[in-house]
């Protein structure tokens, strides 16, 4: 196992739930206690639920109705499923976010927009790129760079990631760290998680010099160069916010992509009676959030 399917990736999120392996599908969940009760529910690992065999998921979920109140997750855009399979496993199935992806079998000049290629040329005059296949060597540096970005955008909750979490993530098979260097110092970095022939642009860290030096352009270009011939797809992730919007991040990612692939939000009421009890106990207002008794938890 490598990438998001490796047990250490789920283990890196253990501060937010107890990892539970799903043997038939090969995926992982995080089981969580429900405040004010003796019950538990589960969520998929952040940012995506990735598994080896989507055909085995229904068998994995069947025992959960005796153990959990509910389950919620966001699907891998490259998962081998269709809507019929998702509806067979879950009560709630909704399109969530389109991810910008690049087909690495195409030439780099076809993949990358002319706008972005212009800024790549400028960026590479300022920074050099170090490709590190042993990211754990730069644990402290990466933690600092990611912390800078987290403070800038007030990142909280599971996306904040502790140093202990990163210690596990940077050690999993398939983790590759791209570092943008200016005068020998890292000014930005991008953590890529590789699973089979798919590269997932997982997390970005940066310093105050990042934007001034256009370091992100140099990083993304170098990643396409490096993985072309080594992998088939690169998933850059989605734009900012829950709803798709024409914002700066969306335009930036679109310039590196050949197409989009949809992710799906999926929810399952494992025990309807207990679910209703939790909603009533929480005094949850009418909401489209699932599970309703956790509405606002990531606000």
Per-domain residue ranges for the chain? 3-97+263-294, 114-223
- Which pLDDT score is estimated for 299? 55
CB contact at 8 A, 133 and 98: no
Cβ neighbours, 10 Å, residue 267: 18
Of the candidates 74, 71, 70, 64, which has an alpha carbon nearest to the alpha carbon of residue 94? 74
Q: Given 3.40.190.10, 3.40.50.720, 3.40.630.30, 1.10.3720.10, which CATH number is that of 114-223?
A: 3.40.630.30
* pLDDT (0 to 100) of residue 241: 62
Whole-model pTM? 0.94
Q: Which pLDDT score, from 0 to 100, does residue 29 have?
A: 98
State the pLDDT at residue 89.
97
DSSP letters, the chain, are: --GGGSHHHHHTTGGGSEEEE-TTT--EEEEEEPTTSS-EEEEEPSS-B--S-GGGHHHHHGGGGGT-SEEEEEB-TT-S--HHHHHHH-SEEEEEEEEEEEETTS-HHHHS-HHHHHHHHHHTTT-EEEEES-GGGGHHHHHHHHHHHHHHTT--GGGT--HHHHHHHTTSTTEEEEEEEETTEEEEEEEEEEETTEEEEEEEEE-TTHHHHTHHHHHHHHHHHHHBTTBSEEEEE--SSSS----HHHHHHHTT-SEEEEEEEEEEES-HHHHHHHHHHHTPPS-S-SSGGGTTTT-
pLDDT value for 288:
83
Which portions of the chain are predicted below pLDDT 50?
none
Whose CA is closest to 290, among 91, 72, 76, 94?
72
Counting every residue written for the chain, the total comes to 299
Would you state the pLDDT for residue 245? 57
């Amino acid at each position: 196992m490598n990438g998001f399917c490796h047990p250490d990736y789920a283990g890196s999120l253990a501060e937010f739930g107890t990892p539970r392996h799903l043997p038939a599908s090969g995926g992982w969940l995080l089981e969580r206690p429900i405040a004010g009760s003796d019950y538990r529910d589960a969520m998929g690992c952040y940012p995506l639920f990735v598994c080896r065999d989507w055909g085995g998921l229904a068998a994995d979920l069947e025992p959960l109705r005796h153990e959990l109140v509910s389950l919620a997750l966001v699907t891998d855009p490259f998962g081998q499923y269709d809507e019929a399979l998702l509806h067979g496993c879950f009560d709630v199935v909704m399109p969530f976010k389109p991810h910008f992806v690049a087909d690495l079998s195409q030439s780099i000049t076809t993949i990358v927009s002319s706008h972005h290629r212009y800024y790549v040329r400028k960026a590479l005059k300022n920074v050099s790129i170090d490709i590190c296949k042993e990211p754990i060597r730069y644990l402290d540096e990466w933690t600092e760079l990611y912390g800078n970005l987290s403070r800038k955008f007030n990142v909280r909750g599971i996306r904040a990631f502790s140093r202990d979490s990163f210690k596990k993530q940077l050690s999993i098979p398939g983790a590759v760290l791209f570092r943008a260097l200016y005068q020998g110092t890292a000014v930005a970095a991008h953590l890529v998680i590789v699973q089979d022939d798919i590269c997932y642009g997982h997390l970005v860290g940066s310093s105050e010099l990042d934007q001034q030096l256009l370091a992100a352009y140099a990083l993304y270009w170098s990643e396409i160069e490096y993985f072309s011939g080594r992998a088939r797809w690169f998933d850059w992730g989605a734009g900012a916010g829950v709803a798709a919007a024409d914002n700066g991040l969306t335009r930036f990612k679109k310039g590196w992509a050949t197409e989009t692939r949809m992710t799906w939000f999926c929810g399952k009421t494992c025990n309807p009676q207990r679910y209703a009890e939790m909603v009533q106990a929480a005094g949850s207002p009418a909401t489209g959030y699932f599970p309703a008794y956790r509405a606002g938890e990531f606000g």
